[in-house]
Amino acid sequence: MNKIVKAPALPSLFILAAFFAGCNQNSSSPSSGPSYTPPAAQQAVPPPAQQPQSLSLYIVPFDQGKFSMEQIQADKKKIEQDPNDVRALISLADANFMIQRFEKSQDYYERALKSDPKNINARLSLSNCYIFMQKPDEALHQLDEILSMQKDNPEALYNKGLILLQSKRDPGGAKQVWTQLVSAHADHELAKQVKGELGRL
């Protein structure tokens, strides 16, 4: 069963962060991506009364076993040999996402999607990169791309409703999307999560 999780955190994150920083010590780009402050948590803009307090962004589950130094180095070598190696690109994107290097993660996901545009999980994760970079319009665009391929994709519908409500301050739009989610997937865990919120929108 899919789980709804918040921003990733693993005991090995500091090790991975140090590894990536070492690999890029001569780079002019920052070694870590920007932190995401959900609009609901910003002090300058109080959340609306209907703001859901118990819902979190759906994040694609990662295989934590693939984030070893050896695997990361192997994936880098694969990309050197084949820049369009989708599996290696997504693996590196996931690894960067886990240590909150969202701009680098975005780059890897976009490269993977150029070769495999119908990869739903990669596009979901790319959408989440945009959210953590506080780019809700770009995030919504990626979710709409998914829904153009799978009109009732539960994860895309769930995240779209959450972004519309929290980032775009559009409770009517969120209600419409979540109503579609509940109608298409009444027994899905994500649908059960939003049922309580629909009555308040």
pLDDT in tens, 56-87: 999 999 877 677 888 899 999 999 999 999 99
pLDDT by residue (tens digit) across 142-187?
A: 999 999 999 999 999 999 999 999 999 999 999 999 999 999 999 9
What residue has token string 């910003």? 42
* Helical (H) or strand (E) element with 90: helix 86-98
Give the separation between CA 88 and CA 82, rounded to whole angstroms.
Answer: 9
Residue 28 near residue 78 (C-beta atoms within 8 A):
no
Distances (CA, A) of 70 to 16, 65, 74, 75, 77: 11, 11, 6, 9, 11
Cβ pair 68, 59 in contact under 8 A: no
DSSP state of 40: G
Q: Looking at residue 14, what DSSP letter applies?
A: H
Which CA distances in Å does 142 have to 14, 125, 149? 30, 9, 11
Is the model's pLDDT at 126 over the cut of 50?
yes
CA distances from 190 to 60, 142, 154, 194 (A): 13, 19, 7, 7
Q: What class, spelled out in words, does domain 71-150 have in CATH?
A: mainly alpha
pTM of the model: 0.74
Domain ranges in the chain are: 71-150, 151-201
